[in-house]
Amino acid sequence: MLHATSLALAHVPGTLTGSCGDNPGIACRLAWDLTHSANVAQIVQVYLAGPFTRTVRIAFVIVLAVLLRFVAHRLINRITERAATPATSSNGRARLAAAINAAGTERREQRARALGSILRSAVSIAVFGIAILTILGDLGFDLTPLLLSTTVLGVTLGFGAQNLVRDYLAGILMLVEDYHGVGDTINVKDISGTVEAMTLLTTQLRDVNGVVWHVRNGTIDTVGNESQGWSRAIIDYPVPYGEDLARIRLLMEQAADSLYRERGWRELMLEEPEVWGAQELSSREVTMRIVAKTAPMRQWEVARELRARVKAVLDAAGVAPVGPDTIVISASSDQAGTAPAGEAALPGGPPGTPGGGDRPAAATAEDGTAAPPP
């Protein structure tokens, strides 16, 4: 009986519930208590309490979204900073780890910054997207058509921009898996060069001729990285076939040891150079190979210096350089006489042929005039 009476009074204009509704707010209740006027209470309810409540809720959603974004960004920044900091090594290979870390610090920082930027953008889009949908719901918008249209638009873009989506996904995977980074020398299909810039869409290479290549990430199936972790300098040095290879090996080891003992060059080499021995054989020469494990991207300068040291040691030991075959043809004394001193014989075929070593004397006619040669 009491419940039925309260329901009947709820719609009576001259009561609190009749003027402010079943759940009267603080402003409407206060206006009713002060004035006991249904008009004043309804004006406060419609023009003050309702907009104020929506404004407070919208402000709360915005503040909460900003706070969540700030906390997420701080967490992502801490993770990326920790990932960008090189790890230390306490074992016997501390110098190797230090050299590799020193060479790859810039690349590691760039990779961590790129991943952090992607994560921050994703968090911002997710947080503010949910906040916008919540605000639109509070304002009274029907979100069902909006969500359906967004889904249809996403599917349409997915079918129409498959290559673009594939490029972006491939770029994200390359950053996560660390296939290559800025400063690396890589081989992609028929292109070889140094990575100058890398985005989620393309990888920019500059080859040895200075040409800049823009390669879409989605088209990269295989990547050969020449500068990841460590590199190796390879020197193939030819020596005459008749030389004692054991002696040549000792001379090369002497050159490599002299380079490794110098502090400046030792910092670039991770291990002592090794003489692997005979790499190729021919009828004239033996190609000896010597290698050195170096820090990333330092193999070329080490190879140049090591090649110069090997040449100096072999020259000092009297090892003759291997040169091209030379054939010298001289004229016979009974046909052309002896060539003057200091005059080299002309190259060419046998005597009597054009460009040969000797030239036939010009014939003399009976009248004393010179006759043309036969």
**Tokens coding 289:** 């190979």
| Alpha carbon distance 68, 50 (integer Å) | 27
Residue with tokens 């004239």: 284
Q: How far is CA 290 from CA 257, 266, 287, 293, 309, in A?
A: 12, 16, 10, 11, 12
Task: Give residue 226's pLDDT.
Answer: 82
Going from N- to C-terminal start, the domains of the chain cover 1-141, 181-225, 231-316
Residues of the chain below pLDDT 50: 1-10, 89-93, 326-328, 332-374
Give per-residue pLDDT as tens, 247-268: 999 999 999 999 999 988 988 8
**Tokens coding 116:** 């952090």
Give per-residue pLDDT as tens, 96-110: 555 555 555 666 777
The total of other beta-carbon atoms located within 10 Å of residue 104's CB is: 23
Contacts of 109 (CB under 8 A, 6+ apart): 84
Task: Give residue 296's pLDDT.
Answer: 82
The CATH class for the domain spanning 181-225 reads: mainly beta
Give per-residue pLDDT as tens, 316-327: 999 888 766 544
Q: Which is nearest to 188 in space by CA: 201, 179, 197?
A: 179
Residue with tokens 């993770």: 79
Q: What is the separation, in whole angstroms, between the first and last Cα of the chain?
A: 147
| Alpha carbon distance 303, 317 (integer Å) | 21
| pTM score, whole prediction | 0.51
The CATH fold of domain 231-316: Alpha-Beta Plaits (3.30.70)
Mean of per-residue pLDDT scores for the chain: 75
**Tokens coding 310:** 């090997």
